[in-house]
Structure 1
Amino acid sequence: MAKVLMKGNEALGEGAVRAGCRYFFGYPITPQSELPHYLAKRMPQVGGVYLQSESETAAANMVYGAAGAGARVMTSSSGPGITLMQEGLSYLAGAELPCVVVNMIRGGPGLGNIAPAQSDYLQAVKGGGHGDYRLIVLAPASVQEIIDLMQDAFDLADKYRNPVMLLADGILGQMMEPVELSEEVLVQAPEKAWAATGRKKGGPRRLINSLYIVPEECEKHNIELAQKYAVIAKEEQRWEEYQLDNAKLVIVAFGTCARICKAVVDRARQEGLAVGLIRPISVWPFPNDVFARVRETAEQFLSVEMNMGQMVEDVRLAVEGRKPVHFYGRVGGMIPVARDVLAEVKKLYNGGAV
């Protein structure tokens, strides 16, 4: 086991290679450009293919082709580019094609800026494209977790034949941290009996498709997808809990915000306040199970985000209206500061008194 210093975007690339990804199609955009730069050098070393597409729209369709042929394939971008991929993501989900998509979130809407944000949450977890579909969405909080979750992302994509998105704020892409790398083992993509790799004589016909002209057939397909999503929602919830045992106020945060909020929990505990933290790792499926347990003893919840209040909607649904759910956020590339979040915690803890 070797410990090395890596930038988050580089860790994404190394994690993908170690997970068996051999095809990357993408287009540079800040704050994720180091990822395609890294893979441009790394992919040829393992017999893989790196191709810079002419646009993000093209990248998503290239992913469709490679995934349809059974490859482990990935693309990446940030806000504006991910928006351009939405049609392709809907096709990928409709055709049940496994792939991994990275969104290194920057400030928006519009061109916004290149500073970190979490304002693409709703786009990711509710489906930004057309039709009834879901992406599995994982949210790392450290460079080490980026590498670890890349393996999970490709495994989940293949297990459920579904696109998986890694959702991170721009800080995680740009920050450098020590990571532990095991001895490299080049993982091979699993055999996929459904993949369109050519029809052998007398063999079954393999068709990759999301077009169902007959309404009854399209309805049947949608129902089958919904049944798959229900299994994912039940089986693949992931979260971290911190100081929850006797917490009266529970902070909910993901990504970089969760790291800040851990410090807030520690400071609150030092001052005698029973505060805990839930960090969703899978933001879809949302970790409703932990809320079902904690909402029985907690008195209130505070969702801390780098947006105008997006995950807070899922927190309210998970709490089912049984306890108050509050929101604190910074936007436009601004990052919550621990002392300000702690001040909000104290205000809520004291019944709204400053």
Structure 2
Amino acid sequence: MLFLRRLFVTFAVLVLALGSQASANPMLLIDTDSGAVLFEQEAGAAWHPASLTKLMTAFVAFQAISEGRVGLDTPVIISKRAFNQAPSKSGLKVDSALSMQDALYVMLVKSANDVAVAIAETVGGSEKAFVAEMNNTATKLGMTNTHYVNANGLHNDGQVTSARDLAVLSLYIRQLYPQYLPIFETEAVTLGKANLESNNDLLTHFAGTTGMKTGYVCASGLNIVATAQRNGRSLMAVVLGGVSARERGEMTAELFLRGFSGALGGTGKTILQVANTAGAAADMRPLICGKQAKAYVAEREAAYPIGLKGQPSYLTDEVKGRVYAATNLGQLRDVPLPRPRPGYARIQASTPVAAVAIEQPANLGAIVPRPRPRP
């Protein structure tokens, strides 16, 4: 019992008293069936999405497929511009091609920046045109704190979103395009001799995990949108600004465990009732990659030691990851890219992403299941 009390104190310190303005991690936990918000912290604050951008890149590609602008077998060619993107990358050479289906797997599992640009060029004719469609779609979905500058999430000060907006987008993906959910559940993609692995540790160490995407740049810290299902109940967590993969994964797993156990009774809001807030996105670069990083990481580890050596962990399940085999179609030259067509999918900003359900106020004093020691 003493251990459990200490564990709650650790969580309370993490949620309520983490130092500087930039370290106030946006976090969100929702019921994916009802849209009820079980827990939120700074969920409407502007934040740099990093590779969570690729959730929208995928959404616009899914939309284009549904409209017949491209197909799952459409070749996605790695242009010189795509090839020159910074890592993480697929390892493909200039003019190499994947099918659209394989490209979506490589982009979402490996978080390949070159493939994200290649998909954008294939669907939109150019990345610039595709990004315009991304922003138009964000507006239609009611993502009022979101703006995109590129298709892959490499850092740009103007590339912003919020935990709230990411949850809305992810719910739309799940509701409108469920046929693509296996992509988000995939832990690794084989491409020739390469094994391209996901950075989502929950896929192999938290039973019931069903996706979705991670992201990281210095300015954002480590981000994740994750979904999990247990005992017929499905939850979605958004955690932004982590200092390590360990912290990001453990915090996400703890949110899930609290939600599944009933420890979080709810906020009385649905996701569409969570308000975005004005202001510039926090810049985590000095704390994650700058001179303050060593001290900041030490502070965060002291506040949240779960998963460190000798400490208990929530990520102790052994789950066999789903593997997908992609095929390099070889180097294709002088293959015309499809021209962009006018008009986008008919998505109304007011379309509910989930039925409205009002829950009881959150009970943050309830105790989560005890984490197990790591082997």
Normalised by the length of structure 1, the TM-score is 0.28
Q: Considering Cα pairs closer than 8 Å and 6+ residues apart, tell me whether 1 or 2 has the greater RCO.
A: 2
Structure with the higher helix share, 1 or 2? 1
Normalised by the length of structure 2, the TM-score is 0.27
